[in-house]
Amino acid sequence: DAKTTQPPSMDCAEGRAANLPCNHSTISGNEYVYWYRQIHSQGPQYIIHGLKNNETNEMASLIITEDRKSSTLILPHATLRDTAVYYCIVRAPSSGSARQLTFGSGTQLTVLP
Amino acid sequence: GAGVSQSPSNKVTEKGKDVELRCDPISGHTALYWYRQSLGQGLEFLIYFQGNSAPDKSGLPSDRFSAERTGGSVSTLTIQRTQQEDSAVYLCASSLGHSDEQFFGPGTRLTVL
């Protein structure tokens, strides 16, 4: 799986959009970009994933650059409950073998009141 | 809809005792993972079940650890003769087939005194 680079921490005002960047300059053509988050004392939570088109779901939007070397996770209206460590992962599709997750250090997002 | 559930949520045991941790995956999910996470650390993969295939046990740290999955649904992780270094949060995740979107349970916090 390709390596990713994220800022260690970010702050965001409550109600504002949180934009979390991720660099993955060595991404391969068949690798997807996944985002998970982990709120303190809880298990990791899947957020969204994409290949090359921008994606949106009820939690967030994912913007992937045209060259696919970076992406941005957008939480459109951050709340205090969005305070968590956010992990960007790049992975090729599963071929049936174990697909255990490996998180890097992620970005600690703190939403401020 | 029910997510992944785990029990107990907390377990305190004495060194040398055996413990059993239970995971109920999302109904219909054929893939099941066990991880553990020590305080402030990343995910450590333990074992993977996929359908009726032989489990991938490559992450089990010692022969004191074992897991089974009955009927392709509920899974039990057993730790024999617990040691203090086994203290961690044990997380279970399930996914639909080979999908890489893993859905995590709340974890079991194990403390070995």
pLDDT tens digits, one per residue of A29-64 = 888 999 999 998 888 999 999 999 899 999 999 999
pLDDT tens digits, one per residue of B37-67 = 988 788 899 999 988 888 999 999 999 999 9
Contact yes or no for A98 and B107 at CB 8 A: no
Contact yes or no for A102 and B42 at CB 8 A: yes
Contact yes or no for B33 and A100 at CB 8 A: yes
Partners of B13 in the β-ladder? B112
Q: Which residues of A touch B50 (CB under 8 A)?
A: 96, 98
pLDDT value of position A102: 79
Is A53 within 8 Å of chain B by CB? no
Q: Is the pLDDT of residue A103 over 90?
A: no
Q: Which residues of B touch A59 (CB under 8 A)?
A: none
Contact B61, B47 (CB under 8 A): no
Which residue of A37, A99, A108 is the best one to mutate when testing the B interface, meaning the one whose CB has the most B CBs within 10 A?
Answer: A99
pLDDT value of position B41: 80
pLDDT > 90 in chain B, percent: 70
pLDDT value of position A1: 67
pLDDT value of position B72: 76
Q: Which residues of B touch A91 (CB under 8 A)?
A: 100
Average pLDDT (B65-92) is 94
**What is the C-alpha separation between B113 and B4, in angstroms, rounded?**
28
Contact yes or no for A100 and B35 at CB 8 A: yes
Q: Pairing mode, if any, of strands B108-112 and B10-13? A: parallel
pLDDT value of position A94: 66
Q: How confident is the model at residue B104 (pLDDT cuts 50, 70, 90)?
A: very high
Q: Tokens 């553990």 correspond to what residue?
A: B36
Q: Which of A42, A91, A102 sits opposite B100 (nearest CB)?
A: A91
pLDDT value of position B18: 98
Q: How confident is the model at residue A92 (pLDDT cuts 50, 70, 90)?
A: confident
Cα A59 from chain centroid (whole Å)? 12
pLDDT > 70 in chain A, percent: 94
Edge to edge, what strands does the sheet with A18-23 contain? A18-23, A70-75, A61-64, A55-56
Contact B92, B6 (CB under 8 A): yes
Average pLDDT (A75-87) is 96
User: What count of Cα atoms within 13 Å lies in the side-chain half-sphere of residue A36?
Assistant: 22
pLDDT value of position B16: 97
Q: Is the pLDDT of residue B8 over 80?
A: yes
